[in-house]
Structure 1
Amino acid sequence: MRGHSAVLILSGVIAIGGGLSSTWLRGIELRFAGVVQETRGVRSVPDRLIIVAIDDFSLQQAANADLSNDPLLQSLSQWPWRRRIHATVLDRLIEAGATAVAFDLLFESPSSHGEADDAAFAKVLRRHREQVVLGVQVLSSQGPVAGMSLLDVTPTLRPADTPIDRGLLNGEPDSDGVIRRRPGQVTQFMREQLDPSIPDGLAIALLKKQKQAADFSIFSQDLLDPYGPPGTIPTLSIWELLEPQAYASIKRSGRLRNALVLVGPTAAVLQDLHPAVFSGAQGMPGVELHATELANRLDSRSLRWIPTPAGWNLVMAFLVIVAGVSTARLERPLARLGFLLSAAGLLVAGSAGLIVWGGVLLPILGVAGSVAITGIVTSADATVRLQWQRRRLLRTLGRYLSPAVAAKIADQPEETDGLLGGQLMNVVILMSDIRGFTGFTQEMTEQGKVKELVNRLNQYFSEVVNAVHSEQGTVDKFIGDAVLAVFGAPLKQSRSANVRAAVRTALALQEKLAVLNRGWEKQGQKPWEQVIVLSHGWVLSGNIGCASRMDYTVIGDAVNTASRLETIAKQTGQLIVISAAVAEQLPSNFPLRNIGTFAMRGQEKQQVFALGTDTDADDWPDTL
């Protein structure tokens, strides 16, 4: 009943909250669509589309005063450029075979370089008027004289007897400032608000210059379906059209033959960069947004957005009730949570699939979020009950088990008897010991530096514990200055994984002690030298002790072998010593040295190996 009460409360919250935050949900859906599009990656662009960019490269080239004796190129050093430059670009584009050219630039006032400059451009525009589109823009103002006005092409470039086609440059950003809709879709709104004669968007106006059929539809909820980050759409630097040799090469290549060309700024200094999908921090050039719309229309594709309809919050609230009641039979909280989160994940994945392959953005995220929240809420009651059971068990076990072991058992109450009764485990034992620690202790004691000794030992033990835990090992116990650690218990792993984890830990301990020694030596203290041994074998792990005192520990031949290896290491002066069973699991090119055959108590004689600690870290086998 408590679980159902929580579900009913949640459904009410979803119904009210969803109704009040519908705009916020729409924003989340749009951002999700952008993430999916970016995750999908770069797509191929229609072959006929090319951007001619007024880019950073062109502006940098123009800044080189001694670059060329060509007056036209020298005039590029001042922005805005002479309109003779645009005339040359248009002439050369048409000459190279372009079908139509659109300028993502404003020519709303006479040229600052004089009437002759406008006349030269106007002459070229008249010659190619059937193949060119010039940009215009609607400006919105606020305040006492709020309104909209059209920045049209200056009459000096379009005499009354020579009409020049124009294309609207405006885009419509969403509430977060990101441009997701097709720029051409703003035309309808501008015509209603300002003037029915407002021209088509730049992309549509350019498409109408070609002879083939194309997508001229305008739906307010159609979003751009981008092809990739800035520069994905084929781009030529405008410098390549103006520099004679580069232009000759382009013309010979036939790259512009039958192309639809958009000319516009991409350089950051020209301030035509906008937040958009794929734009990143640098922004997406406006000309590339128009080119994306143009490419989408050539491909007859877009992302059709179906916004959250009225009453959708009630649908989500109903789904919360259905999901909560249907999963009430799952008693374990993780089972409930996993089931409903999986359902939510499938909904999200389905929505992403529709975006990528269907070109449709449905209001599914709100539903997925409701299902996921239901999973969290409906698992809360079972979680609370299980936590109370776990705490009672922890209080009982904590009297004679270490916190880690007690937590493991408490997390698996149904397996308590098996874990406490003992298990036979295949493990690797790591034992570390400070060489000459007894003498060092006597010396520090005589000097009255017992506190410093304890601090150093604690520093060392902290590094050992961190190194062991980082490789999923277990610190079994501290024995004076020695540490006994286990790899493979209580969490089972493969023999190879245990060996490699133990070897990595041993190597890490060498590095950590070297760092500690450098610090101690700077303080005028003597460095330490440690001995590390690794053995492998079967041990009995479990709750061992008496009724008043028990510890989770391991006993067996592997522990005894580690103790014997420690003695051998000290006798032979080696830093890291491993048993033959450990050596068998290491790569053949591992830096091992056979230090002899030794007797092991209760076992046959066996070979013992030393690990080469003087090998550079970069030379260790990658398989470790």
Structure 2
Amino acid sequence: MRIPRNAPVLLVAGVLTLAAALLASCSASLCRPWWALERNLEGQLVRIRGPRLASPEIVQVVIDDATLAEGLWFEQQEQIPFWAVGMGSLPWPRARYGDLLEPLIAAGADVVVLNVVFAGESVFGPADDKAFIAALEPHQQHLVLAAEMVEAEDQLGAGAISLLRPDAVDAAELDKLSLGLSNLFPPEHGARFLQPEFYATTLEQPLGHEALHSLPVAALEQAGRSLELDLDGQTLNFYGPEPEPIGMDGSCSTLGHGFLRMSAKNVINPRQWAVHPCRERVDGAVVLVGVVVSGGGSALSDLPSPFGDLSGMELLATSTGNALTGDGLRAWPQSLPQRGAFVGLVVLLTLLLAFYRTDLGWRLGVLFACAGLWFVLGYGLMQHRHVWIPVLTPPVALVVGALLYGGEAYRRMSIKRRLTRRWLERCVDPSVVGPMLSDPSDMEALFDGQLKSVSVLFADLQGFTALTRQRSEQGRVRVHLEQLNHYLDEMRSVVWDHHGFLDKFIGDAVMAVFGLPDGRGESTEAQSAICCAMAMRERLVHMNRLWQSEGVEPLVNGIGIASGIVLAGGIGGRKLGGLSVIGDTVNLASRLEGLTRSLDQSILFDQRTSELAGEGFAIRSLGMQELKGIGRLEVYSLSERG
């Protein structure tokens, strides 16, 4: 069964499409390295995008190293303000959070989120808990406290999920407090960082407790803000690197990118807060309060984001901003089967587009261009539509396709050039084959077909058919073949000496073309053809003398030359073909050679050859002659060399 020429290309397209679809539909647990590569690529695109503007309605107040250092300084003084007691170390007295809450509410904060789990009794005693409850009571409609889901194991190793919640919510005075889960689960290798709400909605809540939202959702609900739907199906869309707190000498007029962050020491200190440059930004804002200290606290040092390590506070602010503005990132398509079908369709259509044309430049250009455009599309959808499409698998499949196409084309080109060289070395002087193949595109264009102005020479032995029959009857076949091969070798040498192209041997006939593959001018080629014919005659005289001395009958040849336009190209089929010429000029040269017998002339040529030869030859006209299949034409011959 014959296999179509395009079968390998179609096979490559099918295999790549199937492989891309399977890879795109593979789960993160099975194809973890591949998913990790895609997450790294997504991170690179986020870094290329750079930091972006965050919502001005979200403000962070952090207990940082500077806050603790200032608390230690106050403890060394003789008189310590009440709000600075215990401020120099963690954990803080719970009353200090009440002191921090008061100025924020007074500045107009819509809601304050305390991202600290106040589980159990305070280490500073019951008085601290009472002071904390008293500070919360008048502002509980503007508060959200943190709870945390933890997994504990018993002595037998069995695990159970329990909820750590502030004891303050059980106080009768705090019946309007809102709770939210503070859990942030680092993603597994190869997975995206999902929104905290995903865990709040998927984890089984402990019995006896109400279902809790994540802190970002609880905060926005407490503030009465509208929420982005399907938040649990989104991933975090980061705003930038970890911000530095705005100092007392800072400016809030042009904050640039990221969230506004203030140090707790500037808020809890009444004198500093009264003149803080960013105090007005708290009015109407969602304020997140938490701990961010070096060497511990809420820093997630083992979880680098595209912008570096981010603290739990920054991740909380990022999730809150995504929920408020609706710019969390969504994966599309969402299900793995849909993802595989989508990627497979994209790869298949692109490969078919590349296969639409056969030239290698088109195929490689389409595949590499589409791979690059896919990255641009992925970046654009991430930037403007907040959507992640599979950014890695389609470009990789297309680049692999381009490499396979290129490798196959190079292999076929190498085979073709090797066969062309081998064939040319039989047709022209081997010393000129290298320059001919220096530009493969020219040779390929010639094989595809071109009209050429050439001079065609036919040389045929007269009476050779009868001589073949006679020697066969005499049992002198070996002598006969040796004489023929000697003759053909000498004729080939003469043709090459005159820059001719040996088109073919037709039995005992020789066909040569002058002006192929590259011409030197019509006149030069016509003169070379005539000189070659004369040299053939001279060489045959010398060979006949040698043969006669060996007792072998001499040979006689006739030569016809015609000049004009021929169709040059690859002729003879895929396996046995080569560069050759066809056309009226070829037929005319053959008919002129046949006419040498009846006119008793060794060399004949047409009028066009006579005109091109110029004055360097003694040319005489033999008048109008009838040529079979052509008609009456004026024929010329040589009398002597001028």
Aligned residue in 2 for 1:609: none
Cα deviation code 1:527-577 (max 9, x no counterpart): xxxxxxxxxxxxxxxxxxxxxxxxxxxxxxxxxxxxxxxxxxxxxxxxxxx
1:45-95 alpha-carbon deviations (Å, 9 max, x no partner): 222221001112222333445478425435222211111211110112112
Distance in 2, Cα, partners of 1:346 & 1:152: 50
Tell me the residue number matched to 2:237. 225
- Once the two structures are TM-superposed, the CA of residue 383 in structure 1 deviates from its matched residue by 2.2
The equivalent residue for 2:288 is 262
- Structure 2: gaps (5+ residues): 1-6, 244-257, 423-433, 444-642
The answer to whether the aligner puts 1:70 opposite 2:80 as a matched pair is yes
- In the TM superposition, what is the alpha-carbon distance from 1:188 to its structure 2 partner? 1.3
* Matching of residues 563-578 of structure 1 within 5 Å: none
Match for 2:272: what amino acid? A
The reply to whether residue 44 of structure 1 matches residue 53 of structure 2 is yes
- CA distance in 1 between counterparts of 2:8 and 2:187 reads 43
Q: The residue matched to 1:47 in structure 2 has which SS?
A: coil
Amino acid at match of 1:94: I
Contact between 1:332 and 1:383, CA under 8 Å: does it hold in 2?
no
Tell me the residue number matched to 2:268.
242
- Once residues 370 and 345 of structure 1 are traced to their aligned partners in structure 2, the CA distance between those partners, rounded to angstroms, is 12
Q: State the distance in 2 between where 1:411 and 1:245 align.
A: 85
Judge which range, 289-298 or 260-269, deviates more. 289-298
In the alignment, is residue 375 of structure 1 matched against residue 402 of structure 2?
yes
Q: Which moved more, 1:97-106 or 1:180-189?
A: 180-189
Aligned to 2:591: none
> Would the aligned equivalents of 1:96 and 1:251 in 2 still touch at CA under 8 Å?
no
- State the secondary structure of the residue aligned to 2:86: helix
Of 199, 214, 222, the residue aligned with 2:212 is 199
Q: Cα offset for 1:365? A: 3.7
Q: Are the aligned partners of 1:308 and 1:363 in contact in 2 as well (CA < 8 Å)? A: no
1:318-344 Cα distance to aligned partner (Å, 9 max, x none)? 655554454346566555333202112
Q: Distance in 1 between matches of 2:291 and 2:396?
A: 41
Q: TM-score, normalised by structure 1?
A: 0.57
Report if aligned partners of 1:136, 1:167 keep a CA contact under 8 Å in 2.
yes
Is residue 2:311 matched to residue 1:285?
yes
Deviations 1:217-239 (A, max 9, x none): 34432122222111121000001
User: Is the contact made by 1:180 and 1:276 (CA closer than 8 Å) also made in structure 2?
Assistant: no
Q: CA deviation at 1:4?
A: 3.6
Q: Out of 337, 341, 354, which is 1:310 matched to?
A: 337
Residue 372 of structure 2: aligned partner = 345
How far apart are 1:151 and its partner, in Å?
0.6
CA contact under 8 A between 1:68 and 1:74: conserved in structure 2?
A: no
Equivalent in the alignment of 1:452: none
Matches within 5 A, 1:510-529: none
Look up the match of 1:109: 120
Partners of 1:149 and 1:138 in 2: how far apart? Answer: 6
1:594-619, Cα deviation, whole Å (9 max, x unpaired): xxxxxxxxxxxxxxxxxxxxxxxxxx
Query: Are the aligned partners of 1:108 and 1:151 in contact in 2 as well (CA < 8 Å)?
Result: yes
Shift of 1:96: 2.3
Give the drift of 1:159: 0.8
Are the counterparts in 2 of residues 320 and 374 from structure 1 also a CA contact under 8 Å?
Answer: no
Would the alpha carbon gap of residues 193 and 88 (structure 1) be closer, same or farther in structure 2, given more than 3 Å must change? closer
Counterpart Cα distance in 2 of 1:4 and 1:268: 58
CA–CA distance in 1 between the matches of 2:435 and 2:235? 52
In structure 1, C-alpha distance between the alignment counterparts of 2:62 and 2:72, rounded to whole Å: 17
Q: For the residues of structure 2 that align with 1:379 and 1:193, how far apart are their CA atoms? A: 60
From 206, 227, 250, the counterpart of 1:215: 227
Check conservation: 1:173, 1:179, Cα contact below 8 A: no
Is the contact between residue 171 and residue 179 of structure 1 (CA under 8 Å) also seen in structure 2?
no
Is the alpha carbon distance of 1:199 and 1:12 closer, same or farther for their aligned partners in structure 2, counting shifts above 3 Å? closer
Measured after TM superposition, the shift of residue 41 of structure 1 is 1.8
In 2 relative to 1, CA 60–13 (structure 1 residues): closer, same or farther, beyond 3 Å? same
- Separation of aligned partners in 2, 1:323 and 1:177: 27
1:294 counterpart = 2:320: yes
Give the SS at the match of 2:336: coil
Provide the C-alpha distance between the structure 2 equivalents of 1:367 and 1:280, rounded to a whole number of angstroms: 26
Which residues in structure 2 correspond to 1:427-442 (within 5 Å)?
none
* Shift in alpha-carbon separation, 1:148–1:57, aligned structure 2, 3 A: same
**1:385 alignment partner AA:** R
The residue number in structure 2 matching 1:384 is 411
| Matches for 1:511-590 after TM superposition, within 5 Å | none
TM-score, scaled relative to structure 2: 0.56
Counterparts of 1:317-356 in structure 2, within 5 Å, are 317=344, 320=347, 322-324=349-351, 326-328=353-355, 333=360, 335-356=362-383
Deviations 1:308-366 (A, max 9, x none): 53165466456555544543465665553332021122122112211111122233543
Conserved 8 A contact 2:56-2:259: no
What SS does the corresponding residue of 2:161 show, helix, strand or coil? strand
Among 58, 62, 71, the residue aligned to 2:67:
58
Segments of structure 1 that go 5 or more residues without pairing to the other structure are 396-406, 417-624
Give the structure 2 partner of residue 134 of structure 1.
145
* Alignment-mate amino acid for residue 281 of structure 2: R
For the 8 Å contact 1:351–1:362, the answer to whether it is kept is: yes
Change (3 A) 1:370 1:114: same
Deviation at 1:117, TM superposition (A): 1.1
Bigger mean CA offset, 337-346 vs 71-80? 71-80
Contact 1:138–1:151 under 8 Å retained in 2: yes
In structure 1, distance between residues paired with 2:436 and 2:59: 66
Amino acid at match of 1:259: A
Distance 1:5 1:279, change over 3 A: closer
Q: 1:188 aligned to 198, 201, 207, which one?
A: 201
2:158 equivalent to 1:148: no
| Pairwise CA distance, 1:303 | 1.6
Structure 1 counterpart of 2:451:
none
TM-aligned CA distance change 1:22 to 1:202, over 3 Å: closer
What one-letter code is carried by the residue in structure 1 that aligns with 2:220? L
The alignment partner of 1:76 has SS state of coil
RMSD over equivalenced CA pairs, Å: 3.7
Number of aligned positions between the proteins: 405
Contact 1:173/1:180, CA 8 A, preserved across alignment: yes
Larger radius of gyration: 2
**Partners of 1:86 and 1:384 in 2: CA distance:** 74
Task: Please report how far the alpha carbon of residue 390 of structure 1 lies from its aligned counterpart in structure 2 after TM superposition.
Answer: 7.9
Three-state SS of the structure 2 residue aligned to 1:112 is: coil
1:266 CA displacement: 1.8
CA shift at 1:173, angstroms? 3.2
Partner secondary structure for residue 75 of structure 1: coil
* 1:246 alignment partner, SS class: helix
Give the letter aligned to residue 132 of structure 1: L
Change (3 A) 1:328 1:286: same
For the residues of structure 2 that align with 1:380 and 1:251, how far apart are their CA atoms? 65
Q: Match of 1:220, SS?
A: helix
Structure 1 residues 113-141: Cα deviation after superposition (integer angstroms, max 9, x where no partner)? 11111111111011211111111100124
Question: What is the distance in 1 between the residues matched to 2:419 and 2:209?
Answer: 77
* Offset at residue 411 of structure 1 (A): 8.6
Q: Amino acid of the residue matched to residue 286 of structure 2?
A: L
- 3-state SS in 2 of match to 1:349: helix
Distance 1:107 1:7, change over 3 A: same
Change (3 A) 1:411 1:74: farther
